Amino acid sequence: MHTIDLLRGQGVPAKATFGTVAMVIVFVAVPILAAAVLLDRYLGNKEVIAIDQQAIAKAQETVERFAADVTFKEQVERQQSGIDARLKEVKSCLGDYVQWSPVLMNLVENMPADMVMNKLAAETRRSRERVVKDSDPNRPVTVNVTRRTLVLDISGITTGSYNSVVRDYGERLRKSSVLGPKLENIVVSEKAGQLGDDKTVSYTMNLIFKAGS
């Protein structure tokens, strides 16, 4: 039997070998595996996105639910800031306040019988001073300091010297339980005075209070 090859060996398919089959499997399997991996990632990412969307929706719901409370809290904080500012102002005013009634009563009760009060005035001076705190003596701080002076003019009811009377009056004020702890010093000055038609002696007593008293 004779074989006639009209294509002269050009159209005869090559015999399949193990290597060629393996290469074909690789070329087919790799894209399939890649596609499977991508599909798995897509499905996984889709699930993650769905979970994230649910979390975002819940967060938005929470924000909307508490929005009124947050607004109310902000209003309360603004009101609290205003109240704190007013309280600070009130505190600064109270810091300059002193109850003068016990002081005046003490002055009158100790007043010498043979002298009269001609004038009484209270002077207040505020300043910034460097002080040392007991808790930290090595670190002085600058604070607001209020200093008060009570100016008292008294005169004798007759002519003559009242130096000893005024000196005793000052000592009684220093030893007083009301004034004594508050006083830093008493400065007395003498001058000629006039009581009606009679010439007499007048004394000006500067009762200097301790800082902050």
pLDDT 10s digits, 115-139: 888 888 888 887 777 767 667 777 7
CA distances from 21 to 17, 80, 101, 181 (A): 6, 84, 117, 113
Reported pTM:
0.51
pLDDT: which is higher, 118 or 95: 118
Q: What is the mean pLDDT of residues 98-112?
A: 86
Instruction: Name the token pair of 200.
Output: 């007499």
Name the pLDDT band for 90 (thresholds 50, 70, 90). low
Q: How far apart are CA 100 and CA 122, in angstroms?
A: 9
- Res. 96: pLDDT tops 60: no
Name the pLDDT band for 164 (thresholds 50, 70, 90). very high
pLDDT for the residue numbered 21: 53
pLDDT for the residue numbered 145: 75
Q: How far apart are CA 145 and CA 131, in angstroms?
A: 10
Alpha helices, DSSP H only, in the chain? 18-95, 101-110, 163-175
Residues whose CB is less than 8 angstroms from the CB of residue 145 and which lie 6 or more positions away in sequence, other chains included: 126, 127, 128, 129, 131, 211, 212
Name the pLDDT band for 166 (thresholds 50, 70, 90). very high
pLDDT for the residue numbered 56: 80
Helix (H, G, I), strand (E, B) or coil at 200: strand
Name the pLDDT band for 191 (thresholds 50, 70, 90). confident
> In the block, which residue shows the tokens 């719901």?
61
Q: How far apart are CA 199 and CA 193, in angstroms?
A: 6
Secondary structure (DSSP) of 131-168: EEETTEEEEEEEEEEEEEEEEEEEEESSSS--HHHHHH
- Res. 204: pLDDT tops 90: yes
Cβ(155)–Cβ(131) under 8 Å?
Answer: no
- Res. 99: pLDDT tops 60: yes
pLDDT for the residue numbered 104: 87
Q: How far apart are CA 37 and CA 165, in angstroms?
A: 112
Name the pLDDT band for 27 (thresholds 50, 70, 90). low
pLDDT: which is higher, 185 or 66: 185
Q: How far apart are CA 156 and CA 190, in angstroms?
A: 11
Cβ(161)–Cβ(190) under 8 Å?
Answer: no
Lowest mean pLDDT among 39-43, 139-143, 172-176, 179-183: 39-43
Residue 86: half-sphere exposure toward Cβ, Cα within 13 Å: 6
